[in-house]
Amino acid sequence: MDVYLVGKITNTHGIIGEVRVTNMSDFERFGPGSSVYVIENGVSQSFVIARARPHKQQLIVKFEGYDNINDVLFLKGKELYASGRREEDLEADDFRYDDLIGKKAFTKDGEEIGIVTALIEVPQGHLLEVMNGAKKTLIPFVKAFIGDVNDEQVIIHPIEGLL
H/E stretch holding 28: none
* Cα dihedral 29→37→60→89 (10° resolution): -10
Say which range, 69-78, 86-95, 97-106, has the weakest mean pLDDT. 86-95
Instruction: Give the model's pLDDT for residue 74.
Output: 95
What is the chain's mean pLDDT, rounded?
A: 83
Integer angstrom CA distances of residue 80 from 8, 125, 149? 6, 22, 25
Do the beta carbons of residue 122 and residue 106 sit within 8 Å?
no
Give 72's pLDDT tier (boundaries 50, 70, 90). very high
Integer angstrom CA distances of residue 94 from 27, 77, 149? 10, 27, 10
Residue 117: is its pLDDT beyond 90? no
For residue range 73-90, list pLDDT tens digits in order. Answer: 999 999 998 876 545 555
- Distance CA(110)–CA(153), nearest Å, equals 11
| Residue spans in the chain of domains classed CATH 2.40.30.60 | 2-86
Task: Give pTM, 2 decimals.
Answer: 0.57
| Residue spans in the chain of domains classed CATH 2.30.30.240 | 97-156
Over residues 138-154, the mean pLDDT reads 81
* CATH placement of domain 97-156: 2.30.30.240
Share of the chain above pLDDT 90, in %: 31
H/E stretch holding 131: strand 125-132
For residue range 31-59, list pLDDT tens digits in order. Answer: 899 899 998 887 889 999 999 999 888 89
Question: 3-class DSSP state for residue 119?
Answer: strand
**Assigned superfamily of 2-86:** RimM (2.40.30.60)
- By C-alpha distance, which of 114, 90, 108 is closest to 158? 108
- Distance CA(58)–CA(45), nearest Å, equals 22
- Distance CA(160)–CA(127), nearest Å, equals 17
Give 6's pLDDT tier (boundaries 50, 70, 90). confident
